C-alpha cells in the first residue's frame, strides 16, 4: 500500500468513527443498529495518556454492554437514552443535554449563536442540517460530529482527486472546527454522560468520544506533513 492509499484509508476511518459517534447521540438504538454494533471489533489501545485511557475504558464498557444487550433489552436502552439526554423521568430535570449551547451559554439555554452557526455551516455546503428524523437544534452533539464526518468525506474526495490545496484547506477547517466548536464543551458533556448513565453503553460511548477527539486534536495539529502525499 502506497502513501496515498494509506492517507485515503486514514481519512475514511476517521469519517467512519465520526459517523458512528454521531449516530449514537442522534437516535436511540434500534434492532438493526444493535445487530451492526454487535459485529464491531474494538482495537487494542496502547499507552497511558488521557486519550488512551479514555479509549481503553470506553471500548471495554461498550463491548461489555453490547454483549449483555439483545433485542429484548432495546426498550431499556431507549429509556436510558431518554433519561441521560432528555432527563426523562428525572425529578430534578438534570441530564447530559447534548447541545453545545447548554455548555457555552451563560444561562445554559438551548439555541443561540452555536445553533445558528451550525445551521449556516451545513447550508453553506448545500446540506440540510436537520435531516428527516433529526428534528433537533443544530448544535446537537450528533450533528456536530456528523459535520466532521462530512468534512472527512470531502477531504477523501480531494485526496482521491490529487487536490493538494483542497486537502490542506479541509485539514485546516477540521482543525479549527474541532478546536473552536467541539473541544470547547464536548469533554464537559462527556463527563455528564458518564455521571448520569446507569449502564456502560452510553458511558462507553462518551469515553470513546473523549478519547477519539483528544487523538484527533493531536493528529490535526501535526497534519502539515501530509500535504505532499497526494
Extents of the domains making up the chain: 3-229
Q: At 32, phi and psi to the nearest 5?
A: -65, -45
Mean pLDDT value across residues 203-209: 98
Instruction: Please tell me the predicted confidence (pLDDT) of residue 1.
Output: 59
Task: Tell me the mean pLDDT in the region 48-53.
Answer: 95
74-86 vs 186-196: helix crossing angle, rounded to 10: 130
Confidence of residue 137 (pLDDT cuts 50, 70, 90): confident
Share in percent of the chain as helix, strand, coil (round to 5): 70, 0, 30
CATH 2.60.40.10 is held by the domain 3-229: no
Q: How far apart are CA 203 and CA 24, in angstroms?
A: 12
Q: Supply the pTM of this predicted model.
A: 0.93
Query: What does the pLDDT average to over 188-208?
Result: 97
Amino acid at each position: 500500500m502506497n502513501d496515498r492509499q494509506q492517507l485515503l484509508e486514514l481519512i475514511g476511518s476517521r469519517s467512519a468513527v465520526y459517523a458512528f459517534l454521531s449516530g449514537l447521540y442522534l437516535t436511540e438504538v434500534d434492532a438493526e443498529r444493535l445487530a451492526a454494533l454487535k459485529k464491531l471489533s474494538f482495537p487494542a489501545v496502547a499507552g497511558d495518556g488521557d486519550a488512551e485511557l479514555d479509549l481503553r475504558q470506553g471500548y471495554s464498557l461498550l463491548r461489555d454492554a453490547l454483549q449483555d444487550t439483545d433485542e429484548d433489552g432495546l426498550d431499556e436502552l431507549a429509556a436510558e437514552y431518554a433519561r441521560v439526554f432528555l432527563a426523562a423521568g428525572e425529578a430534578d430535570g438534570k441530564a447530559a443535554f447534548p447541545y453545545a449551547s447548554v455548555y457555552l451559554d451563560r444561562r445554559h439555554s438551548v439555541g443561540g449563536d452555536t445553533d445558528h452557526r451550525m445551521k449556516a455551516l451545513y447550508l453553506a455546503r448545500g446540506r440540510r442540517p436537520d435531516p428527516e428524523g433529526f428534528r433537533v437544534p443544530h448544535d446537537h452533539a450528533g450533528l456536530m460530529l456528523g459535520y466532521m464526518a462530512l468534512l472527512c468525506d470531502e477531504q477523501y474526495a480531494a485526496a482521491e482527486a490529487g487536490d493538494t490545496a483542497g486537502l490542506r484547506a479541509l485539514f485546516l477547517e477540521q482543525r479549527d472546527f474541532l478546536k473552536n466548536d467541539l473541544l470547547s464543551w464536548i469533554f464537559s458533556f462527556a463527563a455528564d454522560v458518564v455521571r448520569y448513565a446507569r449502564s456502560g453503553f452510553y458511558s462507553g460511548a462518551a469515553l470513546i468520544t473523549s478519547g477519539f477527539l483528544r487523538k484527533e486534536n493531536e493528529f490535526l495539529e501535526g497534519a502539515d506533513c501530509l500535504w505532499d502525499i497526494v
